[in-house]
Amino acid sequence: MTFDAMWADLQPVGRDRRSGGYRRFAWTAEDGALREWFTGEAAGRGLDVVPDRAGNLWAWWGDPDADGPGLVVGSHLDSVPDGGAFDGPLGVVSALAALDVLRARGWTPSRPLGIAVFSDEEGARFGVACAGSRIITGALDPDRARSLTDADGTTVAEAMAAAGHDPVQVGPDQTTLARVGTFVELHVEQGRALVDAPDEAAVGVASAIWPHGRWRLDLRGRADHAGTTRLEDRDDPMLHLAEAITAARRAAGEHDALATIGKLRVEPGGVNAIPSRITAWLDARGPVEADVRAVVAAVGAAAGSEPVEESWTGSTAFDAGLRDRLAALLAAPVLPTGAGHDAGILSAAGIPAAMLFVRNPTGVSHSPEEHAEPADCHRGVEALARVVEELG
Ligand code: GLV
Ligand code: MN
Ligand code: MN
Ligand code: MN
């Protein structure tokens, strides 16, 4: 199947008809359909699909145990709530298409070639981003991973088991990692660096991922009647939340960082009741770790509540030799990113990794507005094919 045919195949899966965005959360029926689709595409190309201990899928051309370590390309298929079509799937579909391009040219790899699909990259359902790569590299404790819960109280262990992956296996997976000599992830660009750049490059190479993390704020108050409780008698956590939101914006500006409160749980959630409890999630990122920490501290102080760290990833520079080699090969600009990726987690675990970014004319991501022109997607496939040819 061509890139366009594969792309068309995926479009209906998990698409919300009202927003046009995608809801493809880890270990749901939609995720299962995407995994099944990938397994079928891989099998159709004669690749052996092997799940690892976290349920990440690895499709191999060649035997990575006998002739490895290999070169692996890939990304993820899950999405954020109302995500775009490209964040994740573009890297997976491009990997399959690049393989087809190279085979059509009669190319064969000198080391095994793998295509990877990582589980739960977005952490949209259970809260921890890049859960699949964090589990196998040991960056996420297996017991914590299994016991993470979604909004309905379903644990990762329960969701995995329901999807047919044995949660007892969850844990570091040295056997899988030893097969990966180099990892390259192609991804839609999630900002404006390429579209605003004067050189009109459709493809860029990543230099580094900013330090970033997620924190939870637990704000307590006292539920009471909206119509009968005098203002001076109220203990309303919504006021603390308001302070936290404006502090996030102010502190991010002061520290040259980014801070976002994008998810809330308000209890009991009645229009006519003062909330008893608010849970707010803070995402903070920036080029300098100390600045990100300072923003989080400022938000905590404004909220009157110590932020609880749910995940943290330090600054991740991609392998410099690989980065320079790919930038020269493709004559591509080099750019940093504030978005987290499995390639960053593998890189932090010592695997030489690189990323290619495909231009996004809207500059918008984690939204239905996210876009890449078909011609740029095809350029991305060609760039990835050249990279595989060079490194494989
Ligand atoms: C994951 O995609 C993130 O960067 O939040
Ligand atoms: Mn994303
Ligand atoms: Mn992504
Ligand atoms: Mn990401």
pLDDT at 336: 93
84 CB within 6 A, ligand 1: no
* pLDDT-derived band at 198, boundaries 50, 70, 90: confident
Q: Do 54 and 169 sit in the same domain of this protein?
A: yes
Q: Which domain holds residue 280?
A: 212-313
339 CB within 6 A, ligand 1: yes
**Is residue 382 within 8 Å of 203, Cβ to Cβ?**
no
Q: Do 151 and 284 sit in the same domain of this protein?
A: no
CATH of the domain at 337: 3.40.630.10
Q: How many domains does the chain contain in total?
A: 2
Q: What is the pLDDT of residues 213-236, one digit of tens each?
A: 999 999 999 999 999 999 999 999
Nearest CA-CA partner of 192 in 354, 383, 377, 369: 369
CATH of the domain at 275: 3.30.70.360
The last residue of one of the domains, among 256, 289, 313, is: 313
pTM above 0.90, yes or no: yes
Q: Do 280 and 332 sit in the same domain of this protein?
A: no
Torsion sign over Cα 22, 23, 24, 26: positive
Q: Do 217 and 271 sit in the same domain of this protein?
A: yes
pLDDT at 43: 98
Nearest CA-CA partner of 173 in 140, 196, 206, 126: 140
- Asked if the model's pLDDT at residue 199 lies above 90, the reply is no
Q: Do 249 and 129 sit in the same domain of this protein?
A: no
Q: Do 236 and 286 sit in the same domain of this protein?
A: yes
Among the bound ligands, name the one nearest to the CA of residue 209.
1
Residues flanking ion ligand 3, Cβ below 5 Å: 87-88
The proportion of the chain whose per-residue pLDDT surpasses 90, expressed as a percent, equals: 99
Residues flanking ion ligand 4, Cβ below 5 Å: 339-340
Amino acid identity of residue 126, one-letter, is: F
88 CB within 6 A, ligand 1: no
Phi, psi of 181, rounded to the nearest 5 degrees? -80, -40
Average pLDDT over all residues of the chain: 98
pLDDT at 1: 87
- Asked if the model's pLDDT at residue 316 lies above 90, the reply is yes
The last residue of one of the domains, among 313, 337, 364, is: 313
Q: What is the pLDDT of residues 224-272, one digit of tens each?
A: 999 999 999 999 999 999 999 999 999 999 999 999 999 999 999 999 9
pLDDT at 389: 98
Strands 277-285 and 258-267: antiparallel
Q: What is the pLDDT of residues 58-98, one digit of tens each?
A: 999 999 999 989 999 999 999 999 999 999 999 999 999 99
Q: Do 322 and 182 sit in the same domain of this protein?
A: yes
pLDDT at 338: 95
pLDDT at 263: 97
pLDDT at 210: 97
Pairwise CA distance, residues 288 & 138, whole Å: 24
Q: Do 320 and 180 sit in the same domain of this protein?
A: yes
Q: Do 288 and 326 sit in the same domain of this protein?
A: no
Residue 41 marked as a ligand binder = no
Rounded to the nearest angstrom, the distance between the alpha carbon of 108 and the centre of ligand 4 is 31
Count of Cβ atoms closer than 10 Å to residue 352 Cβ: 18
136 CB within 6 A, ligand 1: no
122 CB within 6 A, ligand 1: yes
Find out whether the peptide bond into 64 is cis, omega within 30 degrees of 0. no
The last residue of one of the domains, among 292, 313, 334, is: 313
**Is residue 197 within 8 Å of 191, Cβ to Cβ?**
no
340 CB within 6 A, ligand 1: yes
Q: Which atom of ligand 1 is nearest to the CA of 123?
A: 1
Q: Do 274 and 381 sit in the same domain of this protein?
A: no
Q: Do 51 and 167 sit in the same domain of this protein?
A: yes
Q: What is the pLDDT of residues 139-177, one digit of tens each?
A: 999 999 999 999 999 999 999 999 999 999 999 999 999
Q: Do 206 and 216 sit in the same domain of this protein?
A: no
Probe target for ligand 1 pocket from 24, 214, 341, with the most ligand atoms within 8 Å of CB: 341
Residue 371 marked as a ligand binder = no
Helices 289-303 & 237-254 angle (0-180, nearest 10): 160
Probe target for ligand 1 pocket from 77, 366, 367, with the most ligand atoms within 8 Å of CB: 366
Residue 360 marked as a ligand binder = no
Q: What is the pLDDT of residues 93-133, one digit of tens each?
A: 999 999 999 999 999 999 999 999 999 999 999 999 999 99
Q: Which atom of ligand 1 is nearest to the CA of 130?
A: 1
Residue 234 marked as a ligand binder = no
